[in-house]
Amino acid sequence: MLSRVLGSLLQFRRPSCASRLPLRVLESFRGGPQTTALSHAYSTDSGSRDDSIGRYPIPNKTDLPFDIVELMEEMEVKTGFLPNVFKAMAHRPTEFRAFFAYYNAIINKETGNLTKADKELIIVATSVANRCLYCVIAHGALHRIYSKKPTVADQVTVNWKLADLTARELAMLEFALAICRAENITEEHFRKLEAHGFDREDAWDIAAISAFFAMSNRLAHFMDLRPNKEFYTMGRIPREKEKMASSE
């Protein structure tokens, strides 16, 4: 499971090759519960397929570039499981690097007025609109952890307008969903955001997250990407019980 001990992985490391991925992509998983690392969950048999993950084969780690293998192994060792999106995207190493580089740029940026919980809430709401099971479940789990509110993501999944959200969060989601649905964006959209403390750069951040996950949602849909079972209980039950559940 996900753990605060990931802090040691969050710095950019000296690259051993030009294509090295920054390990700060793991920043988005800070704060989650920790378990003992599991055995490697991606394939050691070239071209094998696991229908519990998706419709494309999971690459043999010996066939993958070093930087991608290292990121996957460190994620798994430190969190106790490897999110299935890493396994699925490893089918295309060049796209894997581009995908997580942009993810890192918009989710782990240190400027702006969006909190980690805000970002995960945007991902949940827009992923619902895009009917993406993987992102709704995975990022709903992260929202529970960051917000310390175990029910809000579930409410947003059913009807965001009836969820226990602040006026600020409602304005943020209204704008995110306008981007998600490719509505015509007008100055009125910006005025509504500004009324709740969001500036133009925050609007860009909201739009970037919504747009990136529109792509991510459609890739996950196409790949039939399934959530890891660990995501379903994260942030719902006391940590000690969660550790016990993950070891069963």
Q: Which two tokens stand for residue 196?
A: 């709740």
Assigned CATH for 116-223: 1.20.1290.10
Tell if the pTM clears 0.75, that is, is over it: yes
Torsion sign (Cα): 161, 110, 10, 59: positive
What's the confidence (pLDDT) of residue 29?
Answer: 56
Higher-confidence residue of 180 and 47: namely: 180
Q: Do domains 4-108 and 116-223 have the same CATH topology?
A: no
Model confidence over 127-151: pLDDT tens digits? 999 999 999 999 999 999 999 999 9
Higher-confidence residue of 165 and 7: namely: 165
Q: Which of 42-56, 106-120, 127-141, 197-211 bottoms out in mean pLDDT, i.e. has the lowest? A: 42-56
What's the confidence (pLDDT) of residue 232?
Answer: 95
CA distance 143 to 123: 9
CA distance 191 to 136: 29
Fold adopted by 4-108: 1.20.5
Judge contact between 46 and 220, C-beta under 8 A: no
**Banded model confidence at residue 73, pLDDT cuts 50, 70, 90:** very high
Domain parsing of the chain, residue ranges: 4-108, 116-223
